[in-house]
């Protein structure tokens, strides 16, 4: 954790909505209600570039809804959020609000899902190849002219093989994704998301339903991503995992950001203890 | 007893008629429409219950332009108009409704197909579409004048006469349309094969599996679905056009919803999401239908089936009963059809 | 992008609609077309608003029209040949077919000119005076008749919607239950003589048979397949196969000939203020209304009804709160199919019983349930009423063959704008 990006976080105030030195994502006044109930109501939130940021909170805190909103899978009642593609260059930002999911993904912000969406009736390698961005052969103009995309396909294939190797899925290369175990599917989905070389990857409960042995390797993968310069934003319930790998934690309750800070800040924060009081997670927090 | 039955059955005729139909124009047009539907449903997962809308658009578009003498009465331009009409139908089905859930899309497409058919059938459109009587007009039909003449007579390279032997004897018109039909089937299948092995096809299949996954990976799902709808729709509209040339006229009766479900049966019988599925499906379908019909007819005629159970005039309806049984039984026990891959067959579009 | 797209698609639909409707409404008159025509009248008194249909030798309906204000009707035919012209009615109070004559006339058109056809009608008790109804009275009558059709569509659609609600299945075979009920009732009437005063017994038996068929389908086909984890889409395709199977079995064993219930051939009208309907229509409206209210009460007030609604809302939750989901689904099938059968016999009473009646009502029912909201019984009632009423009343202004367009157009618009229907609850995404 000697990375200078993460050390920058040491100077950030652990208060909700605090300003980061080099944010990759800033969210302003995003509200989403379901039948009068405010599922998400985030005043201001910044996500620091090059770090692993975790969203935690009790069930129904609005974590997944917030994910859905900022990736375009759901529409907010109001609010704006911006994506800063380049480090320390506030001018090179994109307003993501109102964009559709594929447009947001193409900006370099790719997500995974809580319930894995591995494409069951496609092979593992086809799943991977699909992940790559800006493929010439994906346009109808070129599809019937293999000469136009064969070269790129080869490059993508090599990249896919490397990623599969890294995620220990090479032996399943030509199997249908349906044959993978739950944990392997999580790995495949993450690897597939990486095919497009995202700047920010959003993982929705990557550890849920994964056996403990795989969890270890998943955590290593996530940390490796950060070390390679990919920013990671993830939702998780497994407190040990969160405390172990997160650089920054954002606590949500009833749709609002009630606290944020480093793992040690958060575990001492009385507001967090309050929000979790009585819940199992509170017990775990006290132990940390 | 059983020996008796065999003695009375004309086995040569039984197989002859069945084979004749399974390689005939009807089988070709059904295969062609099924190729189009295969792209929609087999590969993209679009529940299109309005296949006939595309066939009707192609056939009527062509027939209207030709009989009205628009665009100089050129048959090629008339065909092009039919195809354009099919594209317009694809856009007006697709733009608003591709975001709907699968079963809602099914209802919308079947409704749009019926709207189109009822409009064509309307007496107020008598001058344009011939209303319930179709095109060409009664007078022309009585005088044996048809839009098909250019294709079947003027442009027919095959000399007048009868070709083949046994039950497989065709006159030059039928043979020519058969050649056109099956060539189009081959071309369309080749096109789909080329598309589906490309990265474009990979995205299409991903959409069938899970739209949201494709979206999350940056694919413009809506645009791909629309492309699929248009390409498949144009292929299906060719089927309508070939059929119109074969029959020599267009009539709304040809485009009732049941035709859509014939084509669904063909596709599922052959195997959705496979290149050979529509072709094998159509040939097998017609073989089974004609074989059973002819067998029943012979059994009724020879008194093996008493009139009380089945009258010979009802045999034509047996075809529909068979289709119904085939559709249901295949869906339950063999959703991958004859040549489809089992792994890709279970349908769980939302 | 979303708005732009909506605008473009809205525009396209509008253009399509105009393209189609412009010539449709431009009232193309064709001078030299081949038609069968006539005037419905008793002596010098003309009878407007009586339906006349023409079928060809294969018994396929070629056209249908209501006699105009001058009693005249004219239906185009495709060519020379034999045609059957049927006077469906209704006839005003006191007017009947002359003894020995028929409501059906067969004509042979053997030359290229319009053929005139007349029906032999007499005024009962030689009551000669018939008042010509004013336009608004005719409209009112059409609306009442629309109400009747609406009630029947509602009756038939409840099952379709409820079955979708509890299982998620769009059951294409539902329409054949409608035909099934009518055919069974007809069979009972003609074979074991449940005519006249005994006719209600035939209806009750047909309704029971319908319920039994629903039980059989759930028990024998859809229940087991659902437990095999077949998806609803696959099951929908299975139901399409079943629909064809049933429809054409009805054709083979019932025949292609459209028939009417012997007990209630053409009845003369009975006046109730400005409204004039055949006696049977008053009964049909009353029966349909009572049944709908009863079903409503059943759903609201009884334990079974509550479980049906609970399973429809959330099967998992219903299961965990102690409701026997499978049993509930079974009852939905029985109830829905029985209602479809009842609807079918009633439709058979007002029109004809024929093998195609399922096919003809299928899209009307789909339109009704999507308008009301798939899955809700009350939605089906409201939707059925609205669709039946709108399509029937539209014939006052539009050609008869366009009345389905109204229903289909409503359905398409609802699916595009508000797929959950007017009474349905919007599904949460994600």
Domain spans, chain B:
25-255
Burial class (CB in 10 A: 0-12, 13-18, 19+), C27: exposed
Portion 187-246 of A in contact with C at CB < 8 A? none
Residue C129's pLDDT is what?
Answer: 42
**% of chain B at pLDDT higher than 70:** 96
Nearest to C428 among A34, A73, A100 (CB): A34
Residue A6's pLDDT is what?
Answer: 58
**Cβ pairs A/B, distance under 8 A:** 100
Task: Output phi, psi for C276, to 5 deg.
Answer: -130, 115
Is the CATH number 3.20.20.70 carried by domain A4-118+198-287?
no
Q: Name every chain B residue with its beta carbon within 8 A of the beta carbon of C366.
A: 107, 110-111
> pLDDT tens across B225-256, in order?
999 999 999 999 999 999 999 999 999 989 99
Residue C28's pLDDT is what?
Answer: 36
C234/B335 touch (CB, cutoff 8 Å), yes or no: yes
Residue C31's pLDDT is what?
Answer: 40
Dihedral sign, CA of A215, A217, A220, A225? negative
Distance from C-alpha of B230 to C-alpha of B93, rounded to nearest angstrom: 10
Does the CB of B263 have a partner CB in chain C at under 8 Å? no
> pLDDT tens across A1-43, in order?
444 555 567 778 888 888 888 889 999 999 999 877 889 999 9
Does the CB of A171 have a partner CB in chain B at under 8 Å? no
Residue A13's pLDDT is what?
Answer: 80
Smallest CA–CA distance, residue B2 to chain C, in Å, is 27
Residue C429's pLDDT is what?
Answer: 31
* pLDDT (mean) for A171-194: 91
B119/C20 touch (CB, cutoff 8 Å), yes or no: yes
Distance from C-alpha of B82 to C-alpha of B66, rounded to nearest angstrom: 10
Q: Name every chain B residue with its beta carbon within 8 A of the beta carbon of C252.
A: 310, 314, 317-318, 321
* pLDDT (mean) for A192-196: 94
Q: How far apart are the first and last CA of chain C?
A: 21
Residue C10's pLDDT is what?
Answer: 58
Q: Peptide bond before B239: cis, by omega within 30 degrees of 0?
A: no
From residue B347, give the alpha-carbon distance in Å to each of B202, B211, C66: 17, 14, 47
Ranges of chain C whose pLDDT falls below 70: 1-33, 44, 58-59, 99-100, 112, 123-133, 265-269, 425-430
Nearest to B199 among A113, A135, A176 (CB): A135
**Which H helix or E strand runs over C244?**
helix C232-254
Distance from C-alpha of A230 to C-alpha of A194, rounded to nearest angstrom: 9
Give the number of other CB atoms < 10 A from CB of residue A161: 14
**All structural domains of chain C:** 35-110+117-127 (2.60.40.10), 137-417 (1.10.3470)
Dihedral sign, CA of A94, A95, A99, A105? positive
Chain B partners (3+ C-beta pairs within 8 A): A, C
A74/C1 touch (CB, cutoff 8 Å), yes or no: no
Does the structure's ipTM exceed the value 0.85?
yes
* pLDDT (mean) for A151-167: 95
Nearest to A100 among C1, C429, C430 (CB): C1
Q: Contact A31/A65 with Cβ under 8 angstroms?
A: no
Tokens of B125: 């459109």
Q: Contact A177/A188 with Cβ under 8 angstroms?
A: yes
Distance from C-alpha of A98 to C-alpha of B283, rounded to nearest angstrom: 50
> pLDDT tens across B262-279, in order?
999 999 999 999 999 999
> pLDDT tens across A44-53, in order?
999 999 999 9
Residue A193: which of A132, A125, A136, A236 has the closest Cα? A132
Query: For residues B8-38, b (16+ Cβ closer than 10 Å) or e, as one string?
Result: ebeeeebbbbbbbbbbbbbbbbbbbbbbbbb
pLDDT mean by block of 10 residues, chain B; 350 residues: 69 93 96 98 94 97 92 91 95 85 86 92 84 82 83 88 89 95 98 97 94 94 96 98 94 91 94 95 96 90 80 82 91 89 59
* pLDDT (mean) for A107-121: 90
For B47, name the nearest residue in chain C, comparing CA atoms only.
C233
C429/A74 touch (CB, cutoff 8 Å), yes or no: yes
B199/A129 touch (CB, cutoff 8 Å), yes or no: yes
Q: Contact C94/C120 with Cβ under 8 angstroms?
A: no
Q: What is the DSSP letter of C293?
A: H
Distance from C-alpha of C237 to C-alpha of C226, rounded to nearest angstrom: 13
Does the CB of B232 have a partner CB in chain A at under 8 Å? no
Residue A160's pLDDT is what?
Answer: 96
Q: Where are the domains of chain A?
A: 4-118+198-287, 119-179
Statement: residue A260 has pLDDT above 70: yes
C78/B101 touch (CB, cutoff 8 Å), yes or no: no
More confident: A283 or A124 = A124
Residue C97's pLDDT is what?
Answer: 76
């Amino acid at each position: 954790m000697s990375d200078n990006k993460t050390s920058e976080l040491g100077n950030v105030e652990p208060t909700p909505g605090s300003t980061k030195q080099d944010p990759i994502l800033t969210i302003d006044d995003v509200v989403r209600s379901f039948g009068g109930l405010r599922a998400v109501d985030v005043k201001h939130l910044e996500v620091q570039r090059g770090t692993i940021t975790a969203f935690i909170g009790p069930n129904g805190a609005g974590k997944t809804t917030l994910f859905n909103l900022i990736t375009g899978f759901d529409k907010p009642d109001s609010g704006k959020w911006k994506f800063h593609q380049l480090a320390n260059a506030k001018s090179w930002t994109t307003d993501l609000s109102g964009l559709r999911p594929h447009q947001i993904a193409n900006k370099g912000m790719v997500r995974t899902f809580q319930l894995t969406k591995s494409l069951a009736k496609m092979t593992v390698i086809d799943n991977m190849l699909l992940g790559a961005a800006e493929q010439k052969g994906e346009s109808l103009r070129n599809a019937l002219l293999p000469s136009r995309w064969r070269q790129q396909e080869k490059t993508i294939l090599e990249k896919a093989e490397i990623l599969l190797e890294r995620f220990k899925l090479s032996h399943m290369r030509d199997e249908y994704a349906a044959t993978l175990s739950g944990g392997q599917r999580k790995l495949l989905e993450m690897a597939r998301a990486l095919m497009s070389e995202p700047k920010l990857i959003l993982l929705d409960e990557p550890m849920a339903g994964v056996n403990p042995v795989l969890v270890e390797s998943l955590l290593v993968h996530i940390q490796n991503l950060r070390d390679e310069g990919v920013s990671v934003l993830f939702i998780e319930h497994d407190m040990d995992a969160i405390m172990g790998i997160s650089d920054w934690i954002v606590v949500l309750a009833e749709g609002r950001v009630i606290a944020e800070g480093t793992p040690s800040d958060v575990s001492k924060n009385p507001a967090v203890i309050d929000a979790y009081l009585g819940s199992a997670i509170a017990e775990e927090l006290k132990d940390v | 007893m059983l020996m008796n039955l065999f003695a009375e059955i004309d086995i040569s005729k039984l197989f002859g008629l069945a084979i004749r139909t399974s390689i005939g124009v009807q089988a070709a047009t059904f295969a062609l429409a099924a190729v189009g539907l295969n792209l929609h449903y087999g590969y993209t997962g679009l529940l299109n219950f309005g296949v006939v809308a595309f066939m009707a658009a192609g056939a009527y578009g062509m027939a209207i332009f030709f009989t009205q003498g628009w665009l100089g009465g050129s048959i090629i331009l008339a065909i092009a108009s039919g195809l354009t009409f099919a594209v317009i139908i694809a856009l007006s089905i697709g733009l608003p409704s591709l975001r709907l859930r699968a079963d809602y899309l099914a209802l919308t497409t079947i409704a749009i197909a019926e709207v189109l058919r009822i409009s064509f059938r309307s007496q107020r459109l008598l001058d344009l579409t011939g209303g319930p009587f179709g095109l060409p007009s009664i007078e022309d039909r009585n005088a044996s004048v048809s839009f098909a003449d250019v294709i079947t007579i003027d442009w027919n390279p095959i000399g007048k006469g009868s070709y083949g032997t046994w039950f497989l004897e065709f006159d030059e018109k039928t043979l020519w349309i058969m050649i056109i039909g099956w060539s189009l089937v081959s071309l369309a299948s080749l096109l789909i094969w080329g598309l589906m092995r490309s990265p474009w096809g990979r995205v299409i299949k991903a959409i069938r599996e899970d739209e949201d996954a494709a979206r999350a990976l940056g694919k413009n799902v809506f645009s791909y679905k629309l492309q699929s709808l248009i390409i498949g729709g144009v292929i299906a509209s060719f089927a309508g056009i070939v059929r119109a040339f074969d029959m020599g006229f267009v009539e709304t009766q040809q485009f009732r919803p049941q035709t859509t479900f014939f084509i669904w049966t063909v596709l599922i019988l052959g195997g959705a999401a496979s290149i050979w599925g529509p072709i094998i499906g159509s040939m097998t379908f017609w073989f089974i239908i004609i074989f059973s019909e002819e067998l029943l007819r012979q059994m009724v005629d020879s008194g093996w089936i008493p009139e009380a159970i089945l009258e010979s005039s009802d045999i034509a309806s047996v075809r529909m009963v068979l289709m119904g049984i085939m559709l249901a039984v295949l869906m339950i026990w063999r959703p991958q059809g004859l040549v489809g891959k089992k792994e890709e067959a279970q349908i769980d579009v939302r | 992008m979303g708005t732009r797209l909506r605008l473009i698609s809205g525009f396209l639909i509008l253009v399509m609609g105009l393209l189609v409707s412009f010539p449709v409404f431009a009232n193309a008159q064709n001078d030299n077309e081949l038609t069968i025509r006539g005037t419905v009248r008793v002596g010098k008194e003309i009878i407007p608003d009586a339906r006349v249909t023409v079928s060809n030798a294969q018994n396929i309906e070629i056209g249908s029209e209501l006699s105009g204000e001058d009693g005249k009707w004219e239906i185009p035919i495709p060519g020379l040949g034999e045609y059957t012209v049927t006077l469906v009615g209704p006839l005003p109070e006191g007017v009947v077919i002359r003894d020995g004559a028929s409501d059906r006339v067969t004509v042979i058109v053997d030359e290229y000119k319009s053929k005139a056809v007349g029906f032999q009608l007499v005024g009962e008790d030689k009551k000669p005076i018939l008042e010509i109804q004013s336009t608004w009275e005719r409209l009112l009558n059409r609306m009442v008749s629309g109400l009747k059709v609406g009630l029947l569509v509602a009756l038939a659609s409840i099952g379709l919607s409820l079955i979708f609600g509890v299982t998620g299945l769009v059951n294409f075979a539902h329409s054949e239950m409608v035909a099934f009920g009518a055919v069974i009732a007809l069979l009972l009437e003609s074979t074991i003589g449940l005519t006249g005063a005994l006719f209600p017994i035939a209806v009750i038996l047909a309704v029971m048979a319908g319920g039994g068929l629903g039980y059989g389908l759930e028990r024998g086909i859809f229940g087991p397949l659902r437990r095999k984890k077949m998806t609803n889409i696959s099951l929908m395709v299975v139901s399409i196969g079943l629909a064809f199977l049933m429809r054409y079995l009805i054709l083979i064993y019932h025949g292609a000939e459209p028939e009417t219930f012997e007990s209630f051939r053409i009845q003369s009208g009975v006046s109730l203020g400005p409204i004039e309907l055949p006696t049977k229509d008053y009964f049909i409206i009353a029966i349909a209304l009572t049944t709908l209210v009863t079903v409503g009460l059943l759903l609201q007030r009884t334990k079974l009804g509550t479980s049906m609604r609970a399973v429809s809302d959330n099967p998992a939750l219903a299961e965990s709160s102690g409701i026997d989901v499978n049993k509930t689904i079974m009852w939905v099938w029985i109830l829905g199919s029985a209602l479809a059968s009842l609807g079918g016999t009633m439709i058979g009473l007002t029109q004809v019983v024929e093998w195609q009646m399922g096919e003809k009502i299928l899209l009307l029912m789909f339109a009704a349930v999507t308008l009301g909201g798939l899955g809700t019984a009350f939605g089906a009632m409201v939707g059925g009423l609205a669709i039946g009423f709108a399509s029937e009343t539209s014939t006052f202004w539009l050609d008869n063959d366009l009345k389905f367009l109204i229903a289909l157009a409503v359905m398409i618009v609802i699916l595009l704008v508000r797929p959950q229907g007017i009474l349905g609850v919007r599904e949460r995404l994600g």
